[in-house]
Amino acid sequence: MPVGTLGTVKGVDVDRLRETGAQMVLGNTYHLALRPGEEVVARLGGLHQFMGWDGPILTDSGGFQVFSLAERAKVTEHGVTFRSHIDGSEVQFTPERSIAIQEALGSDVAMQFDHVVALPAGTDAIRDATYRSLRWAERGRAAATRSRQAQFGIVQGGLDPALRRESAAELVKLDFPGYAVGGLSVGEPPEEMYAILDETTPALPADRPRYLMGVGRPEDLVQGIARGIDLFDCVMPTRNGRNALVFTDAGPLRLRNLVHERDAGPLEAGCPCPACQRSRGYLRHLFQAREMLGPILASIHNLTYYQRLMAEARSAIEADAFGEFRERKLRGWQSSPSDIARGA
């Protein structure tokens, strides 16, 4: 799911977004509640009409901001008090308030409000956040009033396999229409994330969507699919695109590098995106000249690449050839985790 935090995927209008192959997008409850406000979005027809997107929309609950804005947030059993990053005013979020905002926004999938902590963290802090998230899940489930909005529960538990399994088991008792694995890609090595997925996804119903939040690199997507994950979101395609890094089957390309100055070839042969109808040399020129078209085209390419990767994975699964597909892709990618910024 491309990330449209504020009702837009940065630099990409909805028509271009559809052309990438995207089927579903993500918005953010905290940010939209602050600006323009859920009442404004509701008055203008809800988030679909507001942003002009006629496909499914998932809204994050604001729980990630408990992590990303930790220095501005105070957590209690009741909820979280933030200091707005816009004007410093006090903003209160509770499980009930988060669901009410998401219902006003009119998203198709609402996420429970959860407590996300950075990793590594102490055992007590992780256990407290996990059990608090379970209590908040029950409160959020009870607060829902829209029958046509699916609400997903979020598994927490840090890097503790037993705590992850316990969190999953308790959430399954609440019979959510879908489940997410949260609290990963927040500082831990990729191998530790994969190990937690090995423990977590088998504890979730196979007939419900399983969503890995805020992930990630192409490698992480393929490894997540191998472990039973169905849905992903991440800002990486657009954030890296805006910074002149593009993804290919041979690994990432840094378009500002001098080697691309006289390169007449496309970013990737066979890619149908508009960026690949130009040369690498031209795209490099756009970034060197600080032309806004450069970040736009690179973002579109990266989004197209991610959607093509997902489509290829679906085809490989249908052909019972996913294992070979995974090995081929992993061999082709030459980047190391330090080459590309991870994160939600």
The answer as to whether 155 is a domain residue is yes
State which of 217, 234, 251 marks the end of a domain: 234
The answer as to whether 8 is a domain residue is no
114 is known as an active-site residue: no
102: containing domain: 14-234
pTM of the model: 0.94
Three-state SS at 28 = strand
* Residue-level pLDDT at 335: 53
* Residue-level pLDDT at 340: 53
DSSP per-residue codes, 169-180: HHHHHTT-SEEE
- 287 and 151 together in one domain: no
* Residue-level pLDDT at 330: 96
DSSP per-residue codes, 264-296: -S-SSTT--SGGGGS-HHHHHHHHHTT-THHHH
State which of 216, 234, 252 marks the end of a domain: 234
State which of 185, 208, 234 marks the end of a domain: 234
Q: CA torsion sign, 298 to 303 to 308 to 313? A: positive
* Residue-level pLDDT at 70: 87
> What percentage of residues in the chain have a pLDDT greater than 70?
97
Low-confidence ranges of the chain (pLDDT < 50): 336-339, 341-344
Choice among 54, 60, 114, 175 that is catalytic:
60
The answer as to whether 307 is a domain residue is yes
124 is known as an active-site residue: no
* Residue-level pLDDT at 66: 85
The answer as to whether 344 is a domain residue is no
Choice among 87, 233, 249, 263 that is catalytic:
233
